[in-house]
Every structure is written in structure tokens, then in C-alpha cells.
Amino acid sequence: MKVSLNWIKDFVDFDTDAKTYADVMTATGTKVEGYEILGEDIQNVVVGRIDSTEKHPDADRLTICSVSVGKERPVQIVTGATNIKAGDIVPVCLDGALLPGGKKIKAGKLRGVLSEGMLCSIEELGVTLHEFPYAAEDGILIIEEPCEIGQDIREALMLSDTVVDFELTFNRPDCLAFIGIARETAASFKKPFVLKEPKYNECKDGEKVGDYISVDIQNPVLCPRYSAAVVKNVKIAPSPLWLRMRLRAAGVRPINNIVDITNYVMLEYGQPMHAFDYSYISSHKIVVRNAKDGEEITTLDGNKHPLNSEMLCIADGEKPVALAGIMGGLNSEILDTTATVVFESANFNRSNIRHTSRAVGLRTESSGKFEKGLPPYNTVPALKRALELVEQLGCGDIVEGIIDVCNADIQPRKIKFDAEKVNALLGTELSFEEMAEIMKPLELIGDKAEGTLLVPPYRSDMERTADIAEEVSRLYGFDKIQPTLFKSEVTQGKLSPEQSFTADLKKLAVDLGFFEIATYSFVSPKSVDRIMLPEDDARRNFIKILNPLGEDTSVMRTTAIPSMLEVIAYNKNRKAEKIALFECAKLYFPTEDGLSEEKKSFVLASCGNGDFYDLKGCVESIFDSLGIKETKYTAEAAAAFHPGICASVKSKNKELGVIGAIHPAVAAEYSLPNDVYLAVLDVEKLFAVADTSKKFVKLPAFPSLTRDLALVMDKDIEAGVVAEKIRSFGGKTLESIKIFDVYTGKGVDEGKKSVAYNLVFRAADKTMSDADADTAVAKILKKLENEMGIVLR
């Protein structure tokens, strides 16, 4: 909100530079976003009177003026302007003058004639026809304001002001008014805040406002209060300069006296107002009601809006005349011919205004304020202020009385005020009196005997000790509160076992060369089609977002594979060669109570970085470090994976996840090569089977013996299955078994393969002899041959 400091000074007497003002206000909680010093860029420009004009001897289009500027002698100025004559009061740039935009004016000769400066237009002064409606658009500004010759133009035209831009918080709608900012200013600078009761004279001709108009609120929830007044014998005219320039500083365009008054009061009191042309209010009734479906209104901006029964409108006896709190109707607009005006000063429900404003696509200064929740208290004071301005500007006669239909509580309240409790919350040691003094400029009045704080009706945010603590602390100064370290029972700061486990898991992936990625939790529902999940896959049952940004982010993911493949493709397209990535991703599964079951999925991925066995090696290293033992890989054709290059991973008969190459069709879908390998693991299950308990085992006392066996078997027999068989046949002395080579080709029959196993034998109680080992091997070989037809090569 842009605020004029000249305006604020109507209510608080303070004097400080803009920077200090901004810093102090921000420090006390009214945050300043920035400020602009108006008129700063105009220098050495004064009011002048053209005494005489004569034609330039050598240039038809130039005129030589003699201009009085309040000095001993007039200055001579050569101008190309055509709208001037002797006697005109004009802005004069003297030698060395500065104009907005950094323009410098210097004395010089124009076609041989000395020009000691320049006459300027409104544009050159940085103002517009809105502020100076009488000015010539393409000529010199002929000033019609009362002013003195030689006066600084900034003073004469009221061009100087400081405009401060505030960022206001949700809890303080009372600060959407300049008087609210003035109160805060007073409290921040410890100065008195003075707001005078508006005074005006009503027309004592026997007519009363009720003779003109009636107000009927049909929906008091959406309109808690409606106040109105009538002004007759209206003379529509431009507002005086001071009012126009104040509106300009606040960023509002001056229009005419009546409209300007409504805007002025809206800025000052924060209370949006509207003025109707009385002659267009049918039946002389104002009815505040929900619009009827099918009704429509053309607003002041000329746009037609269809209305519905959820929208509140101001209607007369027949039709809507305003979209309540948003914009008036064109049908009752104030025109130059308007003779009688109805001023509306009402309070509307903020949610309804917000929804209607969004529904019709129309946001105004007024709706913006109502959306923030204005205090109903303000309608009458604001209305009175408007009437005071009507009188001050002489723009009409005020009909006796005001109408005020009020269904809102507008009385001040008392809340409990215990200074000790405030101190206990803040860690301060302020007395009741000190606190009361701090809050006084905000019209928050402490009563020590009663232990209460009187809260004005526009401060609905003030309820209890914490609220008092906030007011006291921000005005006392947050910086004066001493930092302390809390005394409390000692708590042990640590990660839970599962949190540590997850952290270790991620760390191991990083150590093994994988880069962590972070992808969105919401995905396209089509993402599961792209990885070819079957129609009945549980992962197709999504948690759907009712109001997604777009289809691509409309469901919560149930698998992290699509995001991973997208990231691999993204990097592949950017010429990344060896890709190794991981994500510890949350997955979201719908539950019966409408919430979600959220599970962490750990996805390791490689592309251009080895084969299935490389990734399996990484998985095994991680398992080994985390104490995940007795793992078993079983061939399985999981969805999204290559049916022949895919295994489920189990430990202690618990399914931990899947590892494999992605399905060639999925690879094609993402334009990926075929060497993309994924391991998709369930973190919760990994944690459940991990056994990090460690126990010392004595180092072997006797040496071991090794035997390498090359075994010929059918191609389809899994080497791991044979290893398990060997283990079961090997007896107590078989310590370990490793597969170290697989061979097909010359020397091995078609349909067969040769697998090399390395067997280590050791006895716990003696040095094994070669004969012992040979006996064990012979037993193994015999059983292998009998049971599986496997023979030594």
C-alpha cells in the first residue's frame, strides 16, 4: 500500500527523513517495501508571469517572452509554445533547472536571441491531465491555482511528498487505512496520534435522509453493516489541487469532486465507499441482497457480468446497481449532470467478496480491501468524513441524518492484561505502566487496577496475553530483548534408528558413485502407462489432486521409476555418458480413510555404466554394509523390466525389491538405450531385515584347502542354484563357495555351459589333508551327477 507522508502528518507530528522512517516502521512491524521522494527531481523551477510576448525576429515559430519570476528583473525566455499570452501564470525553469528524468535546463541562445530558461508543460513536470485537467496537452501549463510569482513550483503545485510503500500483514486490516498507518507511526515514534471527529453542517430545511432513501439488508452475514447519506444540490467539478495531489501520491487518479471524496476517504479510513446518482435508484430503495441467477450488471468499467445467487449485490427496487464491495454499476454512475448523490459506506464479508471478485474476474481497490476483512466499526466515521469533505469542497448540501443498519459488534472490548505473563513470554522485565505507555498511541488503554486492556473495535486481532506481548515487544523493540538459551530438561538430540539407517543408505549410494536426484512427488497419471504397468497393477490406484496445476502434476506418485527414467533421458540428451543416479523417493498410496500411506522407495539407476552385474554388485555392497544378510536373487519378470534380465531380491524371505534392466519397449518410450539398469528397493523393508548387531568370531586356527571345479550343466540351470546344492552336499568342512567363470563354446556341448566354482574347505579342529578335501569333492560330484546330471568338465 502506497502512503503519502504529507497525509500522515495530518494525524501525527513527526519529522524524519524517509530512510529513517522506513527503518523505524519496519523495526516495529509495519514493513516498508520501499519509498519514493516526489518532487526531488525538480529543482530551480518557479512560478512566473508572462509580462509581454514578441515574435522572434529570425524565427516565425518562436516567441520571446518577458517573464516575471519574483526577482529584480524579469527573465527573457524564448519558446516555441503557442498557447501562451501576456498575463499567463506559468512554470519557469531558470538557468540550471532540473526536471524529472534528469533533464537539465541551461541559459543559451535560440536563433541568436538569449533564452534564460524554459517554460514547461505538465509532462515535463512529471504530472498528467488527471491532476491538471485544465492544462493544455501539448503546450505550456497555464497555472490556475492560487500561487505567488517566484514561488518554488513544487510548493505552488504541491509536487513534493514522500510516498512509502508498505507490505501489510493479514492480521492488521486496520492498517489498510492511512489513519491506521498514522497510529503505527505515532506509536513507533512515541508521538501523540490525533484524529479529529469529522464536523459538518446538515441542511436544516426539514428534509431527512429517510425521506430520500431506505436501506434493507437481506443478507446480514454477507453485509454486517450498511451506512448511507444523501447530498443534494450537487455541483460536480474537479477537486481542489491539494486533494488531487494527495490522490496522485497514493496512486489514485482524480476524477471529480464526488468520486475523489469516496477515494480519499477510502485511503484515509480504509473504508471503501461508493457514490450513486440518486435519480437512477429506482423506488428510492437500497436492497442488499444476493443476486438472482440470470441477473446481470454492467459495471463502471463498461463490462457486463452475469450474476448468480452466490454473489452479493446492491440493488434498487428493480435491479442491481452495484456489485457489492467490488464496483458500482454504470446505470447509477456519477455524471456531470448528477444533482443528488447517495454515499454508501458499508461492510461486506471478506470471503464472499473474494469469491465474487475472482468469479467475475474483477479486482478493484475496494474489493482488495474488503478481501482483507475490514472492521465494520469504520463505516460511520468514514461516511462522516466524506460529508465533511463535501462541505469543505462546497460540492453540495448535506441532507439531515445518516442511515446506519448495523448487525455487527462495534463496541470496544476489555481483555485481560497481566504484565507478569507478558514478561514471562518475552523474557523481559517491563512494568505495567511501561507497557501501557508503549501501547497508548495505538488507542490500546491499560487499566492497572482492573488488570485489563481496552481494545478499540477495529482491533479484532487483540484477544489475549500473546497479542499484548506482540504489541509490547515490537514497539519496545525486538532488538532490546536479550538473547538467552532456554533452560529445560536435557533432551537427547539424535536420529531415530530408521532415520540413521536411511541416512546411511543414501551415504553408501553416494560412496559408490551415485548422484542423488530430487524429483516432483506429483506426476502424470500417464507415467505408469509409459513404464507399461499392467491394468490391474496396484500402482495405478493414485491419490488424485482435485486442483492440479496441470495433468503432468495431477497425481501423487506410486512409483519413482518414471521420474528416474525422465532424469536419465534428460541427461542422456545432454550428452552425459556414464550415468549413475539414485533417489530416496516418497510414494503415496491411498488409504480407506482418504489419507495416504507414504513409503520410501530407494531407486538406484545406471546407464552407460556397466551391466546387471555391476548394479547387483553395488546393491550387494550396500546390503553388506547395512547388515542385510542371506539375500536371494530370483529371476522374475517384473513390470517395466526386461523379462529375462530381472530379479526379485529377498532377504530372510522378505521381498526387498527388484533389480534389472528396463524393458526394451520402456527404453524406447523414453528414447533411452537398452543398458539402463534399475534397482528399486523398499526402505522400510530393508530396515526391517537389516541386522547391524556384530559379534566377534575367532579367526580360523587351521589352514584351508581350495578346490576349483568346472562343472558342465544345462544352459538353463541357474549357477546360483547349483552353488546352493554344492553347499548342501559339501558337509561341515565346506567353508565357502564362489562362482568365478561361466563358459560356453569349444569343448562344451551345445545347450550346455561350464561354470567354474571355487570351493574352500577348512576343518575347525585340524589341518585338513588333501585326501579329506578330495573325499568331500567326490561326494559333491557324485550327488550333482545323480541329482542334476552335472558332471566335471
Partner 1 sequence: MKKQLEEISASAKAEISAVTDEASLRNVQVSYLGKKGKLTAILRGMGALSAEERPLIGALANEIRVDLEETIKLKLDSLKAAELENRLKNEKIDVTLPARSKSTGRFHPLSQVENELTEIFVGMGFEIAEGPEVELSYNNFDALNAPADHPSRDFQDTFYISPEVLLRTQTSPVQIRAMKGKTPPIRIISPGRVYRFDEVDATHSPMFHQLEGLVVGKGITMGDLKGTLAMFAKAYFGEETKTRFRPHNFPFTEPSAEVDVSCFVCGGKGCRLCKGEGWIEILGAGMVHPRVLENCGIDTDVYSGFAFGVGLERIVMIKYGIDDMRYLYENDLRFLSQF
Could you tell me which stretch among 142-150, 156-164, 419-427, 669-677 binds partner 1 (CB under 8 A)?
A: 419-427
Minimum separation from the CB atom of position 521 to partner 1 (A): 6
Q: How far is the CB of 469 from partner 1 (least distance, A)?
A: 6
Q: Which of 394, 427, 525, 534 binds partner 1 (CB under 8 A)?
A: 427
Could you please report the per-residue DSSP string of 533-552? --TT-GGG-PEEPSS-SSGG
C-alpha cell at 588: 503415496
Phi, psi of 6 (to 5 degrees): -60, -40
User: Sheet containing 579-590: which strands, arranged edge to edge?
Assistant: 515-516, 579-590, 596-607, 676-682, 654-662, 641-651, 631-635
Contacting residue, 128, 219, 392, 521, with partner 1 by CB under 8 A: 521
Strands 515-516 and 312-315: unpaired
469 binds partner 1 (CB under 8 A): yes
Q: How far is the CB of 592 from partner 1 (least distance, A)?
A: 13
Residue 297: HSE in the Cβ half-sphere, 13 Å Cα cutoff: 31
Question: Which cell goes with 328?
Answer: 458500482
Give the single-character DSSP code of 575: T
User: Smallest gap, in angstroms, from Cβ of residue 306 to partner 1?
Assistant: 21
Contact status, residue 753 vs residue 773, Cβ threshold 8 Å:
no
Rounded to the nearest whole angstrom, what is the least distance from the CB of residue 311 to partner 1 in the complex? 16
CA-based nearest residue to 363, from 326, 308, 328, 324: 326
Nearer to partner 1, 484 or 786 (CB): 484
Given the rule CB under 8 A, which of 230-238, 563-571, 630-638, 692-700 is the region that contacts partner 1? 563-571
Q: Is 363 in the site for partner 1 (CB under 8 A)?
A: no
Cell 496537452 belongs to 137
What would the grid cell of residue 42 be? 525538480
Point out which span in 22-30, 217-225, 307-315, 446-454 binds partner 1 (CB under 8 A): 22-30
Site for partner 1 in 299-358 (CB under 8 A): 350-351, 354, 358
Identify the residue among 582, 612, 757, 761 touching partner 1 (CB under 8 A): 582
SS3 of 465-477:
HHHHHHHHHHHHC
CB 323 to partner 1: min, Å: 19
**CA gap 173, 179 in Å, rounded:** 12
Question: What is the DSSP track for 95-143?
Answer: EEEEETTTEEE--EEETTEEE-EEE--TGGGT--TTT-TTS-TTS----
487 near partner 1 (CB under 8 A): yes
**Nearest CB to partner 1, comparing residues 509 and 531:** 509
Site for partner 1 contains 505 (CB under 8 A) = no
> Is residue 464 within the footprint of partner 1 (CB under 8 A)?
yes
* Residue selected from 2, 9, 31, 632 as contacting partner 1 according to rule CB under 8 A: 31
- Measured from the CB atom, is 317 or 427 closer to partner 1? 427
DSSP 793: -
Q: Which of 162, 271, 357, 473 binds partner 1 (CB under 8 A)?
A: 473
Residue 221 lies near partner 1 (rule: CB under 8 A): no
Closer Cβ to partner 1, 253 or 578, answer by number: 578
Residue 707 sits in the site that holds partner 1 (CB under 8 A): no
Nearest-angstrom CA–CA distance, 590 and 588: 7
Contacts 24+ apart (CB under 8 A), 773-779: 773/705, 773/707, 773/733, 774/707, 776/730, 776/731, 776/733, 776/734, 777/707, 777/709, 779/729, 779/731
Nearer to partner 1, 337 or 491 (CB): 491
> What letter represents residue 629's amino acid?
K
Cα 512 vs. chain centroid, distance in angstroms? 39
The continuous run of DSSP H or E covering 328 comes out as: strand 327-328
Which positions from 525 to 554 touch partner 1 by CB under 8 A, shown as an x/- string? ------------------xxxxxxx---x-
Contact residue for partner 1 among 196, 304, 574, 746 (CB under 8 A): 574
User: Which of residues 27, 710, 712, 756 is near partner 1 by CB under 8 A?
Assistant: 27
Site for partner 1 in 170-199 (CB under 8 A): 170-172
Q: Does 494 bind partner 1 (CB under 8 A)?
A: yes
Distance CA 260, CA 243 (A): 8
> According to the binding rule CB under 8 A, does residue 104 interact with partner 1?
no
Q: How many residues bind partner 1 (CB under 8 A)?
A: 87
Binding flag, residue 470, partner 1 (CB under 8 A)? yes
Q: Is 793 in the site for partner 1 (CB under 8 A)?
A: no
Question: What residues from 35 to 64 belong to the interface with partner 1 (CB under 8 A)?
Answer: none
Smaller CB distance to partner 1: residue 109 or 575? 575
674 binds partner 1 (CB under 8 A): no
Distance CA 585, CA 497 (A): 19
Q: Which stretch binds partner 1 (CB under 8 A): 124-132, 318-326, 337-345, 468-476?
A: 468-476
Site string for partner 1, 373-412 (x = CB under 8 A): x---------------------------------------
Which span sits near partner 1 by CB under 8 A: 225-233, 527-535, 581-589, 770-778?
581-589
Ordered DSSP codes for 661-684: EEPHHHHHHTT--S-EEEEEEEHH
**CB burial readout 451-490, b (16+ within 10 A) else e:** ebbebbbbbbbbeebebbbbbbbbbbeeeeeeeeeeeeee
User: For partner 1, which residue of 75, 176, 517, 603 counts as binding (CB under 8 A)?
Assistant: 517
Closest by CA to 583, choosing from 562, 597, 610, 569, is 562
